[in-house]
Amino acid sequence: MSDQGMKSRPTYAPLAPDPSGRHHLLVVEAAEVPAEALAEGVVPSAFEVWTVARRSAVPSAPAMEEAPGSVAIFRSVTHLFSALEERLARETMGLRLYAAGAEPFLWDVWGRAEKAGLSRQETAFAEVGPKARRIYCVHCRTVTEGVTTSIFTCPGCGASLFVRDHFSRRLAAFMGVQVDAEVPGEVPEAEELYA
């Protein structure tokens, strides 16, 4: 049941600076740039790098340097996104935005990029980290993070949801649909599939 033959799933590739770009900003959902996120021979200093420390004690950056090789550390993903929105709003044409992290993070970055006017040609994503899924309940619209099983209970409406391979780039989430809609109560055993 894990391979559902879905052809529309996004695909990812290790990152390298796009030579046609003028400025390269890499946002990472971790404290360091994971080596597997970069193409062979590419070093993190080719980008201006933003990372997430997930702790309160981060070095303060009085005046953030916006140049290749500079690193800015954020307390949390939310903290990084807030700064990213501000940054994109005042950026000029020529920027290339790169992201490395789990799938929901990548598409949350895309949502902000698209809102700022970036096109797919101006962005690149590398998927690294856990494969746990963000699930959107198509019935009650509750979003649940970190789902690792084929079937789980929606915390919003209590429905037993089957985790489809159908990924929404807009919502940055996979679709969850009621698994016992035909015969209420007939819920197959959940399998641990996404970790």
When the beta carbons of 17 and 104 are compared against another protein, the nearer one is 17
When the beta carbons of 96 and 133 are compared against another protein, the nearer one is 96
- Tell me the HSE value of 31 on the side-chain side, using a 13 A CA sphere: 8
Q: Cα separations (Å) of 87 from 14, 25, 95, 144, 157?
A: 24, 10, 11, 28, 38
When the beta carbons of 22 and 55 are compared against another protein, the nearer one is 22
When the beta carbons of 55 and 120 are compared against another protein, the nearer one is 120
Residue 96 beta carbon to another protein: minimum distance, rounded to whole angstroms? 7
Residue 179 beta carbon to another protein: minimum distance, rounded to whole angstroms? 37
Residue 94 beta carbon to another protein: minimum distance, rounded to whole angstroms? 3
Applying CB under 8 A, the residues found at the interface with another protein are: 20-23, 88, 90-96, 116-119, 121-122
Task: Please give the Cα distance from 48 to 73 (Å, whole number).
Answer: 11
Task: Please give the Cα distance from 67 to 22 (Å, whole number).
Answer: 11
2: helix, strand or coil: coil
Task: Please give the Cα distance from 157 to 33 (Å, whole number).
Answer: 38
When the beta carbons of 2 and 92 are compared against another protein, the nearer one is 92
Residue 86 beta carbon to another protein: minimum distance, rounded to whole angstroms? 13
Residue 97 beta carbon to another protein: minimum distance, rounded to whole angstroms? 9
Task: Please give the Cα distance from 57 to 74 (Å, whole number).
Answer: 10
